[in-house]
Amino acid sequence: MNQAKGIETQSQFVIISGMHRSATSLVTQYLQLCGIALGDNLLGAHKDNQDGYFENKSIVQLHQSIIVEQNRNLFNCPEQASYAESAKKVLLEEAKSLESFGSVYGFKDPRNCLFIQPLSGLFPDAKHLLLYRDYREVIDSLIRRATDKEIRRQPWLAAKAWIKYNECIIKFYKRNQEHSLLFNDSFFIKNSGHCVQAINAKFRTKLTPEPINSIYKPSLTKRDGKFNWKTRLVCWFYRNKLIDIDKELKAISES
């Protein structure tokens, strides 16, 4: 059972969101170490995430099924405006189940970005931890790993997805700053203790900062600034939109 440790001041529900390949798994793993309970219904390890994704199986399957029902995929799905009643029931049941694992509890799913408005409506008291990563690193990671057939066929979808997911984050954050924190992934990794203190202050929790080096494996995350030709071409083609969103994220984030 994946119990988390830490002493909290009051019960809080934390929803963690960020574009795919944006260190959401690492940050969620770290926050579990610091005190956020994730429950025991988690996805297992994979070659792309050797320590696991730290995602709730039921919620991931729900979001994925909604996307597939629309004949969409992770990279071309539009922002979602609402949940069906059956989906609401699943989410409410999972949230209720998580309460038994700790007074600070939550879940992570990159797809949350696409569902962030109806999630907020369903859980109006939830806190939102939002993450973003440099667009070149995300696009390059998606293209290099070559595990998504959509990206292999249409590599520019990586850029369009980064744009869509982070547009959702920006729009939500601007409307819900009192319940949200936005971090750059590199800043969080380098300043994990400071970020936990910021979470404690804004979300009224008392998580225990731990050394992130105990779980962080730099060799698994490429951050050398060297990108292949496909990445460079895609980034050039979408450069105006990518740069504009990147600037806005930097302007409003905690980093």
pLDDT at 4: 42
> Digits of tens for pLDDT over the chain (255 positions)?
344 444 334 689 999 999 999 999 999 999 999 999 999 999 987 666 668 899 999 999 999 999 999 999 999 999 999 999 999 999 999 999 999 999 999 999 999 999 999 999 999 999 999 999 999 999 999 999 988 999 999 999 999 999 999 999 999 999 999 999 999 999 999 999 999 999 999 999 999 999 999 999 887 777 888 999 999 999 999 999 999 999 999 999 997
Based on the structure, what is the number of domains in the chain? Answer: 1
Provide the residue range defining the domain that includes 104.
12-252
Tell me whether residue 2 is in a domain: no
Angle, vertex CA 63, rays to CA 59 and CA 68, nearest 5: 145
Distance CA 105, CA 128 (A): 12
pLDDT at 255: 78
Tell me whether residue 139 is in a domain: yes
DSSP sequence for 120-182 = HHH-TT-EEEEEE--HHHHHHHHHHH---HHHHH-TTHHHHHHHHHHHHHHHHHHH-GGGEEE
Which pTM value belongs to this model? 0.93
pLDDT at 51: 80
Tell me whether residue 59 is in a domain: yes
pLDDT at 2: 40
Tell me whether residue 34 is in a domain: yes
Tell me whether residue 4 is in a domain: no
Tell me whether residue 192 is in a domain: yes
pLDDT at 5: 43
CATH number at residue 132: 3.40.50.300
Tell me whether residue 6 is in a domain: no
Tell me whether residue 223 is in a domain: yes
pLDDT at 225: 84
pLDDT at 146: 85
